């Protein structure tokens, strides 16, 4: 057992090093900055959770339905654990890069499996705490329950992610194994993720009549959760009604499912890893004509292939574009005759219970577009993803400026579908010439900003010692800085719209400021970025 905990501590240390490494990970100042960034992220996310829980609690209290809050948040937490864990299975339990080295350690297979599962649990527990603890505090402050509530809530907190981890791991294992047998493994991962998200979105929109009162809708949602997830009513009885038997059943079922999963995985751990690491061999090589390309296009094509060869990279940096495209297509059914033609009655205004939604979207369209663009920076990880092969890129007979331009061009190419999206938005919402010009210019300046700024941030905070791409794309310092900056930029845009009565003038001021910032950042990239790149 001591070996297992030692292995877990080493793995958690590796994850933290990957997440927090800023420059030289051995530098104390660098480590302090990294831990400070992680603490800031946890505080911010906890604050957001606290805000949303407070809003939900206020609405539920108005209808004397406050007891619904804990189970709703618990169900949401379980769903988050389920969705985020499915694609962590490959790289954590199966198919991790250092498999051969890890298996050579003097640790039994059962101990190895236990360490990987505990690592998965530890990561999920952090996000569970970020969501659940604010909900517990809000319910405690509003409902003012007794000490028993506090004790039961704390005890059950540690068992909430267990069953979602098991379900997600089973699904993730099936997906990873199926993908390893599929010739186009990465395409399989990407398409499966998109289909799963669209399925979840469709189910969310059809869970009930949005015209109901808030409390009725919450109760309907709670009944849906209870029927779908059997542990939800047990949790509700334990936390709200202090039912000790329900609490013991909740803990017992969660533990039993987790232990059974660990035992089953232990039996097929080596076999599944061997299958997934070998991959498909059904390929046919045909000698073709060799084509020469310009240095820029050669690097651009290399970067594009790197992008699409990493599913987590595509999903994390391209989902903003996917969501905006889905939103633009959905707008066709707001006031479009296409809905009547297809006999569809999918009205966004009815779903959101906001009769003036179309008018509001007309005014805030550029703001929404900016938000989705800020979610889509591929350059914030493009330097780090070179990893230990960076020297190959630097040894090419290509200038640093060309390399930077190629990486920026990839980001702009990924964002290019937004041009079609804004055409659809402008057509459906009947934008005039000024509104159309605003949304086009906003798209251009924001796209340039997110591409150049992301590259600069990654040059400032690189991470070349990663063991999995997920760390670089989702958990690195560069990713955190870009996300927070993007949120700040969108917040500034909203502030200008709020302070300046003339909305068009506010947008033009924003566009002008962003254009100036883009020029400054590009100049800094060519000067500082070039010298920084040569230091690596």
Question: What are the DSSP calls for 265-322, one per residue?
Answer: HHHHHHHHHHHHHH----------------HHHHHHHHHHHHHHT-HHHHHHHHHHHH
Q: Which DSSP category does 376 fall into?
A: -
Q: What's the token pair of residue 295? A: 């240095």
- The answer to whether the CB of 477 falls within 8 A of the CB of 463 is yes
Q: What's the token pair of residue 447? A: 């796209």
- Confidence band of 283 (pLDDT split at 50, 70, 90): low
CB atoms within 10 A of CB 307: 21
Q: What's the token pair of residue 426? A: 């402008």
- Choose among 186, 440, 482: nearest CA to 320: 482
Whether 231 has a pLDDT exceeding 60, the answer reads: yes
- Confidence band of 360 (pLDDT split at 50, 70, 90): low
Angle at Cα 493 formed by Cα 363 and Cα 520, nearest 5°?
Answer: 135
Q: Which DSSP category does 527 fall into?
A: I
Q: Facing residues of 94 across strands?
A: 90
The Cα–Cα gap between 465 and 175 comes to 27
Look at residue 468 and give its three-state secondary structure.
coil
Average pLDDT, the chain: 78
Give the mean model confidence (pLDDT) for residues 172-181.
67
Q: Which residue has the tokens 């794309």?
A: 473
Whether 276 has a pLDDT exceeding 80, the answer reads: no
> Does pTM top 0.75 for this prediction?
no
Q: What's the token pair of residue 314? A: 């595509």
- Choose among 372, 371, 376, 351: nearest CA to 497: 371
Q: What's the token pair of residue 267? A: 């039996």
**pLDDT, greater one: 363 or 316:** 316
Q: Facing residues of 532 across strands?
A: none
Exposure string for 81-111, b = 16+ CB within 10 A, e = fewer: bbbebbbbbbbbbbbbeebeebeeeebeeeb
Give me the phi and psi of 94, to 5 degrees please: -125, 150
Look at residue 498 and give its three-state secondary structure.
helix
CB atoms within 10 A of CB 286: 4
Q: Which residue has the tokens 């690596």?
A: 536
Lowest pLDDT segment from 107-111, 138-142, 194-198: 194-198
Look at residue 94 and give its three-state secondary structure.
strand
The Cα–Cα gap between 380 and 473 comes to 8
Three-state SS string over 380-434 comes to HHHCHHHHHHHHHHHHCCCCHHHHHHHHHHHHHHHHCHHHHHHHHHHHHCCCCHH
The length of the chain, given as a count of residues: 536
Whether 207 has a pLDDT exceeding 50, the answer reads: no
Give the mean model confidence (pLDDT) for residues 128-155.
88
Please write the tens of the pLDDT for every residue from 34-93.
667 677 778 888 888 888 888 888 877 777 777 888 888 888 888 878 877 776 666 677
- The answer to whether the CB of 172 falls within 8 A of the CB of 262 is no
- Confidence band of 348 (pLDDT split at 50, 70, 90): very low
Task: Tell me the percentage of the chain whose pLDDT exceeds 70.
Answer: 73
Which of 121-130, 314-323, 373-382 is the most confident on average? 373-382
Q: What's the token pair of residue 66? A: 């406050």
Q: What's the token pair of residue 130? A: 């970020």
- Confidence band of 401 (pLDDT split at 50, 70, 90): very high
Whether 208 has a pLDDT exceeding 50, the answer reads: no
């Amino acid at each position: 057992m001591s070996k297992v905990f030692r292995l877990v501590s080493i793995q958690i240390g590796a994850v933290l090093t990957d997440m927090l490494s800023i420059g030289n990970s051995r530098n104390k100042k660098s480590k302090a900055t990294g831990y400070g960034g992680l603490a800031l992220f946890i505080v911010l996310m906890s604050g957001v959770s606290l805000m949303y829980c407070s809003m939900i609690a206020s609405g539920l209290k108005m209808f004397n339905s406050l007891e619904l809050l804990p189970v709703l948040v618990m169900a949401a937490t379980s769903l988050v654990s389920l969705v985020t864990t499915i694609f962590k299975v490959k790289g954590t339990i199966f198919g991790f890069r250092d498999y051969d080295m890890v298996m050579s350690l003097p640790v039994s297979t059962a101990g190895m499996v236990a360490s990987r599962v505990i690592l998965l649990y530890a990561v999920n527990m952090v996000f569970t705490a970020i969501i659940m603890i604010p909900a517990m505090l809000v319910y405690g402050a509003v409902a003012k329950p007794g000490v028993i509530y506090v004790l039961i809530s704390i005890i059950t907190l540690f068992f909430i992610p267990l069953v979602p981890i098991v379900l997600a791991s089973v699904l993730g294992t099936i997906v990873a194994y199926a993908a390893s047998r599929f010739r186009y493994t990465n395409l399989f991962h990407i398409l499966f993720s998109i289909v799963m998200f669209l399925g979840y979105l469709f189910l969310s929109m059809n869970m009930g009549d949005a015209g109901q009162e808030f409390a009725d809708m919450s109760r309907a949602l709670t009944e849906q959760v209870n029927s779908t997830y059997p542990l939800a009513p047990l949790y509700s009885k334990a936390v709200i009604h202090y039912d000790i038997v329900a609490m013991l059943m909740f803990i017992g079922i969660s533990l039993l499912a987790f232990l059974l999963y660990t035992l089953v995985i232990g039996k097929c751990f080596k076999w599944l890893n061997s299958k997934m690491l070998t991959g498909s061999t059904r390929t046919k090589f045909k000698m073709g004509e060799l084509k020469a390309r310009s240095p820029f296009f050669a690097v651009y094509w290399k970067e594009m292939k790197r992008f699409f060869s990493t599913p987590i990279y595509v999903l994390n940096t391209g989902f903003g574009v996917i969501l905006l495209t889905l939103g633009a297509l959905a707008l066709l059914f707001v006031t479009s005759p296409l809905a009547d033609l297809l006999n569809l009655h999918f009205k966004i205004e009815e779903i959101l219970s906001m009769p003036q939604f179309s008018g509001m979207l007309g005014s805030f369209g550029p703001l929404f577009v900016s938000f989705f663009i800020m979610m889509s920076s591929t350059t914030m990880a493009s330097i780090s993803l070179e990893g230990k092969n960076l020297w190959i890129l630097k040894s090419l007979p290509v200038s640093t400026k060309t390399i930077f331009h190629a990486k920026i061009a990839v980001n702009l190419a990924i964002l290019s579908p937004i041009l079609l999206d804004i055409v659809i938005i402008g057509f459906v919402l009947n934008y005039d010439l000024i509104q159309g010009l605003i949304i086009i210019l906003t798209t251009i300046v924001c796209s340039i900003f997110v591409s150049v700024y992301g590259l600069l941030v990654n040059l400032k905070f690189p991470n070349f010692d990663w063991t999995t791409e997920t760390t670089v794309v989702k958990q690195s310092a560069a990713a955190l800085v870009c996300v927070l900056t993007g949120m700040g930029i969108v917040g500034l845009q909203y502030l200008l719209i709020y302070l300046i009565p003339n909305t068009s003038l506010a947008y033009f001021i924003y566009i002008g400021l962003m254009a100036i910032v883009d020029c400054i950042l590009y100049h800094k990239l060519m000067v500082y970025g070039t010298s920084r790149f040569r230091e690596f």
